[in-house]
């Protein structure tokens, strides 16, 4: 563990100039540990109900997991501050390219001013699917994230995507081959509006199928540029139904227009036309998003299947001259 004093020094006394994020949990500061390691320090608001539970959940979930697509938890701090008040903080690796939410919203762009192209978005989607597949299938005790959304996906210098914020994460015990039970007995709704699977609203425990739903919504958002809480989605209309209504023949009605523009290489080209290979790839991607976000948990595909389908879709693009954008 690191001390309060070390974190105070690392962040310049929690200087506002080093503030890089905030939310219901508290604040995130950029800092440097004594060894010169660049870090992100999440200081939890201990006045908020559940802050201790969130702190412990994150420590427990990340204690024994290691994967290139998970944000690395370096250390933590449970101490008293200079006012002798309780102080809780989590120290992560610092990721310089911000959150996926910033890229979708246009707050961040490539050096040439362009938004993310189709291959860059697909790389991100595959990275996230890799991280979730590891949590669900390759950990000794399966881990469910419970709060997957673009603001919790962070990007490093090389645009490798990493899943962060495990404050709602749950460890699962497999009682039978087909049924998973959460170690938690809490019944409050977990997740963020728009990304929460319907069954959680009826009191069902967190599950890998729940994460699949959130991933499906996030995937549709990544390729349409529309958040599930966008103002156009009122009444019975939502992001999933909106994509379904245009899939597959009228895809250009829902695909992010900035990404579409990057697919047209000829002047005066009809914006409604997409090169065939890219069109087939987009159909496969949206199909994965829709298959993950089915209303019924049993109807959803697993993250392992989603990952396989997305990697296959990326292979489709290798012949398009995008090789420089594709990570091997």
Are 142 and 302 a contacting pair, CB within 8 Å?
no
Are 173 and 201 a contacting pair, CB within 8 Å?
no
Q: How far apart are CA 61 and CA 327, in angstroms?
A: 28
Catalytic residue among 147, 165, 211, 256: 147
42 labelled as ligand-binding?
Answer: yes
Q: Is 270 noted as a catalytic residue in this protein?
A: no
Give strand pairing partners of 92.
Answer: 40, 73
**Catalytically annotated residues:** 147
Q: Residues forming the annotated binding site?
A: 42
Q: Residues forming the annotated binding site for ATP?
A: 42
């Amino acid at each position: 563990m690191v001390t309060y004093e070390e974190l105070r020094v690392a962040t310049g006394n929690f200087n506002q100039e080093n503030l890089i994020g905030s939310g219901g949990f508290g604040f995130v500061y950029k800092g440097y540990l004594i060894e010169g390691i660049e870090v992100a320090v999440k200081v939890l608001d201990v006045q908020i109900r559940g802050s201790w539970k969130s702190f412990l959940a994150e420590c427990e979930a990340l204690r024994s997991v290691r994967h290139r697509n998970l944000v690395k938890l370096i250390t933590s701090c449970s101490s008293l501050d200079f006012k002798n008040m309780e102080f809780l903080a989590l120290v992560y690796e610092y990721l310089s390219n911000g959150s996926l939410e910033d890229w979708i919203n246009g707050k961040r762009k490539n050096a040439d001013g362009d938004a993310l192209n189709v291959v860059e978005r697909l790389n991100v989607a595959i990275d996230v699917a890799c991280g979730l597949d590891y949590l669900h299938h390759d950990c000794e005790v399966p881990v469910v994230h419970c709060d997957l959304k673009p603001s919790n996906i962070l990007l490093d210098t090389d645009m490798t995507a990493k899943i962060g914020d495990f404050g709602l994460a749950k460890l699962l015990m497999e009682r039978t081959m087909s049924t998973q039970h959460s170690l938690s007995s809490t019944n409050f709704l977990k997740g963020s509006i728009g990304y929460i699977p319907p069954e959680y609203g009826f009191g069902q425990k967190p599950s890998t199928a729940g994460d699949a739903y959130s991933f499906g919504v996030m995937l549709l958002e990544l390729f349409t540029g529309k958040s599930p809480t966008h103002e156009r989605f009122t009444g019975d209309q939502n992001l999933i139904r909106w994509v379904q209504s245009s899939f597959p023949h009228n895809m250009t009605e829902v695909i992010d227009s900035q990404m579409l523009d990057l697919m047209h290489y000829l002047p005066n080209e009809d914006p409604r036309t997409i090169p065939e290979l890219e069109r087939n790839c987009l159909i496969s991607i949206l199909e994965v998003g829709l298959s993950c976000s089915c209303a019924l948990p049993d109807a959803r595909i697993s993250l392992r299947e989603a990952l396989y389908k997305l990697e296959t879709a990326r292979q489709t693009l290798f012949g398009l001259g995008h090789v420089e954008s594709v990570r091997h």
